[in-house]
Amino acid sequence: MRLLVLFSLLIFHEYLFSQNEDASFFLSLHYGTQLPELNYKSRFGPSLRPTAVVSYQPENTLNVWSVTGFFQFGTLVKEDIFSNLLTPEGYLIGNDKNPAAIQLRQRSWFIGAGKGWRFKEKSNFLNRMIMDVYGGFFQHKIRIQEDPARLVPQINGEYKKGYDRLSNGPGIQFNMSYNPTANPALTRFVVGLDLFAAHTINRRPVNFNTGLPDKSSFWVLLPGIHLGYHFKKVFKDPSSLRY
């Protein structure tokens, strides 16, 4: 009974504070950094991530419906994917018999859709808060950047696919952003926390360095922080979109 009363009060609260809300459009741009956990930590190091979120808030509601996408990159790859090609000294040899300088990079992306919440309270703290949850599709791989001065035939062209660990699967992301200042000139800037999780599987038939397929579960967990810029367009107010 208590839960029913609490639920009813929450519905009434949202209804009460959303009566005068006009339909609006939001665009949020974030740039942040993440630290890997779970299986992802064994393959990659920290990463950077630009994110775009497009949201629509219907009339007379404080909820929004959103689509989002991000591109993620990093410079640290921990996994030894060329173990079958390296010399005893740890070099990868090119076609001219000299060591090749091969760079490995983290690359991933996510696209999803979900729901968000905006608040209209007497409390300034909640008024400045933005919360969103998305579900979608996540993909990651190791980018192999070849030596521009020499060719390594074993990783050239299509052979890269045997080493890049291309993996994908469902993912979910939670974002919480906050405008830390009441200064009118800075009200569009936000800082926030994000948490991303995904379950992925290697989509290559075989990993060349082991000679075996890998279809085991690969779990991704990426807590992070971000800075952002927040645009709002009220459809009934042509002057509402300002930069």
pLDDT in tens for each of the 243 residues of the chain?
544 434 343 333 443 344 446 677 888 899 999 999 999 999 999 999 999 999 888 877 778 899 999 999 999 999 999 999 999 888 899 898 899 999 999 999 999 999 988 776 555 666 677 889 999 999 999 999 999 889 999 999 899 999 999 999 999 999 998 877 655 555 678 899 999 999 999 999 999 999 999 989 999 999 999 999 877 766 455 544 444
Structure tokens at 19: 């009566």
pTM equals 0.83
> What structural domains does the chain harbor?
19-234 (2.40.160.20)
Residue 33: burial class (beta carbons within 10 Å; 0-12, 13-18, 19+): middle
Provide the residue count of the chain. 243
Structure tokens at 59: 């009339």
Residue from 61, 175, 66, 176 nearest 120 by CA: 61
